[in-house]
Chains A and B, each alone.
Chain A
Amino acid sequence: MTFSPEIFDWPASIVPSGSVFMAGGQARPGGLTLTATKVTTPEPGGRAALRMEFNTLKTKAANRIYSWLVSKMKPGHVFRVPLYRSDQLVPASAFGLTDAAVAAGVPWEGDIAWSGGAYWSVSPVAATTAAAVAGSVTVMIDLSAYGEVLQHGHVIGHMSRAYLVEAISYDGSDIATVTVSPPLRVAVNSGDLIVFRPTALMTAPDAASFETLFSYGHLVRPRGVTLIEALV
């Protein structure tokens, strides 16, 4: 019997006011050589980190969800956290979408919404053109439909893992060779979809930083938290 870890989706009502996704790899100091040059040793692989800060929560429902979330974070549960709107993501205009179209969402075929009235969220994708094993750092993505929209510093996703574009080069037909960080956690097959609105599997080793008090007559403002990539 294989163990499947329980993964929670980050609640949609707890949206950060600001976030930054950082790829892993701290450097550890190693000393000085005889010529007084510094020796450092970076972490191979390492773990990605996502730092988020929050505004006050506006509704009672959101407060209640915060109450659930702050307790769920402490035992080290794994969350699937979407990366929210920021310049770390390829902008919607690159895919020919307007902000209004993104806000409206995508309906089912025949312009039908879900029973609750919501639509699918927009998720632009591009296909890979070559396989890559887990642990490697190079992915080939076919961006001919969009042009050279993916650049250094953007964050892309594959199979619920988020990766930072460390280096990228395009060939004549807009097939990009991308170097990602952290290294691929799951093997990529040729034709797999890379998403431009990624989610990341994260855990909170320092969940106490997210705590804040519910006080009478005050709005709840969750404090910042740094989530660390969970290797699941």
Chain B
Amino acid sequence: MTPGFDDVLAEYLGTQTDAFDIQAIVRRFWLFDFDGVPVRVWQGHGPVWDVDGTQWFGTIDAGDTDHLSVPAISDGRDGASAKLEFRLGYLDAETYALLKADQGLVKGRRLTGYAGIFRVGEGLRMGVALKFQRRLTMQHARFDEHADIDKSGTVMRRFSASVIAKNDNAGRSQAPRLTFTPEGQRRHAARLGVAEDKGADFVPALANRTYQVTN
């Protein structure tokens, strides 16, 4: 049975009293689930195969430049929904053309972040399944296409895309407001076929109360 991510990471980290230098190899993996053309990348060198045999493409080139720029991702527990921009420095022409032609392939689709742990002796064939880290929803994509001319005169067409993604707090302030009153609750319940619903009867009693905290 293949071990899970947490088990392997726990093995690497050892116990609290162990005193050896730790070499845990964990990298981030990103699945841009565009409709019909999912893009799977990881932040490392070269292709990697996960436990299902799916290939993920490395975003770091020979000059040690990471061509995927990932913003600092804030914790969503404060209710904020920051606009996060992921930039894919290079896209192949086919994916680029498809995405640009139809923003519907991007809007509302999921951007999922995973963590992958590598064990010694596995090379680039992972033996541990990727661990889910976070899920964002892509809003739209911005496209950039230009021709680079380098010093020797070689012309290269470069396609890149930026994806704007938000976490699941997005749109919360647009949700229809609810006010809890006993009458409203009964009306709502009746619509759903429940005869008597006293669930919100305590609410009026909360008004105009004073609470004192004594130590």
Chain A contact residues, CB within 8 Å of chain B: 24, 27, 30, 33-35, 37-47, 71, 74-75, 133-138, 179, 183-185, 203, 205-206, 228-231
Contacts and interface: CB of A to CB of B under 8 A. Distances in A.
B123 A34 contact: no
A46 B49 CA distance: 15
Interface in B54-89: 58, 61-63
B187 interface: no
Interface in B148-170: 150-152, 154
B62 A229 contact: yes
B22 A183 contact: no
Contact of B62 (A35, A137, A230): A230
B48 A205 contact: no
Interface of B: 13, 16-27, 44-49, 58, 61-63, 118, 121-125, 150-152, 154
A24 B151 CA distance: 29
A33, A40, A43, A135 interface centre (most CB from chain B within 10 Å): A135
Given A41-B24, A44-B27, A46-B45, A228 B124 contact: no
Contacts of B44: 43-45
Contacts of A24: 45
The dominant DSSP class at the A interface is loop
Contacts of B23: 27, 39-42
A37 B19 contact: yes
A184 B49 CA distance: 12
Contacts of A27: 23
A37 B21 contact: yes
Given A37-B18, A45-B58, A183-B125, 4 more contacts: A44-B45, A46-B45, A47-B46, A134-B47
A203 B162 CA distance: 28
A13 to B, nearest CB: 22
B62 A135 contact: no
